Amino acid sequence: MSDRGGSQRVFTRRSVLKAAGAAGIGATLLPSVSRASTAASTPPWVTWVKSFQKKEVKIAVSCFGTLNPFFNPSRVATQDAGGELGIHTLWTGTKNTDTAAQIAQFQDLVRSGYQAVILIPGESDPWTKPIRDAVDKGVLVLTANQDAPKSARELFFGQNLYAGGQTQAKLIAKFLGGKRGKVASTNCAPGSDAMFKREGGVKAGLKSQGFNFVGEVPTDPTDPAKNLSQVENILRAHPDLVALAPGCAPDTASAGKAKQRLRKEIVVVGHDLLPETLELIKKGVVDATLGQNPYLQVYLPIMYAYQRVVLGAPKLTLPGSSWDTGTEVVTRANVDKYITREKRFA
């Protein structure tokens, strides 16, 4: 299969066990599978499924931004789920938002016999036809983290992004007490359905709390130095900000660093649980961040896809055809738990 400028990793039970054994961490990577690749260690359902499922079970995850550290947990979840189920799973995608290349790669997956594809799209509307074509060929398509709501995808697994943006605004107001003033935000994926919803929520929330929203600034999530410079430029352009509302994982870490470097007394409430962000919360530099559990956003749809395409489970009917993976509010009071949990993905 052509990589088309992206990156990919294939996980099968044998390859994961081999890597785990070499590293001496099989129990960590595969909590329900023995390190030994023997018939005796094969989970009984794997043999049972092979008795009636005559072709290899293959499930892929296609991500629009494999270089974005936010998606490290999603990559690990792809590996974990494949190992636990004893099936072939593939983590693939494009290094940054290149929708044309990702669509071409997605079509390769369909032609290559993948029964299900979990799609993390950088944009929404361009996916309507490719997803429709895949579904017409009998491929189960699910979206995760970011949605293509006008498409024929079966379910979306992710956060209620508009509500997450509103929670961000409420936290900013809480940390500022009665103080009000100017607030700016960042956007690392302009054009994505996810950022459109999140930014809509934070803008509406800030307005309702009496803040002056001065604008949304695009950032580059793939280049840490550039990302930090972009965030610093926001603070220089608006020296009287009372708060910064980063919209993405790298932006939140950069906001904390920029606050330190430029000695700014502002509130920072952002998104996602990068190790750098969590350490900045522990130090009292970043006030809070909102997690959306990118591990669960990929682990759950792989498990759901397995039940649908292998075991014949019926389609779930959910409000908005969406499985809400929730919002985790992380502050200095509870950050230690998340520092421990997220070390695996660093």
CA distances from 294 to 73, 197, 228, 260 (A): 6, 17, 23, 28
Does the pLDDT value for residue 137 go beyond 50?
Answer: yes
**Residue type at 184?**
A
Tell me what pLDDT residue 7 has: 58
Does the pLDDT value for residue 29 go beyond 90?
Answer: no
Q: What is the arithmetic mean of pLDDT over 59-74?
A: 94
Q: Which stretch of 67-71, 79-83, 147-151 has the lowest confidence by average pLDDT?
A: 67-71
Scanning the structure block, which residue is given the tokens 């509500």?
A: 163
* E strand or H helix at 175: helix 161-176
Give me 69's structure tokens: 């550290």
Q: What is the arithmetic mean of pLDDT over 113-138?
A: 97
Residue ranges and CATH numbers for the domains of the chain are: 6-158+294-315 (3.40.50.2300), 161-291+331-345 (3.40.50.2300)
Tell me what pLDDT residue 333 has: 98
Average pLDDT along the chain:
88
Does the pLDDT value for residue 317 go beyond 80?
Answer: yes
Tell me what pLDDT residue 53 has: 87
Give me 23's structure tokens: 């590293």
CA distances from 265 to 2, 259, 286 (A): 49, 7, 11
Scanning the structure block, which residue is given the tokens 């290559």?
A: 112
pLDDT tens-digit series, residues 193-206: 889 999 999 999 99
pLDDT tens-digit series, residues 259-312: 999 999 999 999 999 999 999 999 999 999 999 999 999 999 999 999 999 999
Tell me what pLDDT residue 11 has: 52
Q: What is the DSSP string of 26-41?
A: HHHH-TTS-SS-SGGG
Task: Return d(Cα 305, Cα 59) in angstroms, integer.
Answer: 8
Give me 215's structure tokens: 């604008």
pLDDT tens-digit series, residues 11-23: 544 443 333 333 3
Does the pLDDT value for residue 177 go beyond 70?
Answer: yes
Residues making up the chain, counted from first to last: 346
Task: Return d(Cα 46, Cα 57) in angstroms, integer.
Answer: 10
Sheet strands side by side (includes 328-331): 212-218, 182-187, 241-245, 267-271, 288-291, 328-331
* pTM, 2 dp: 0.82
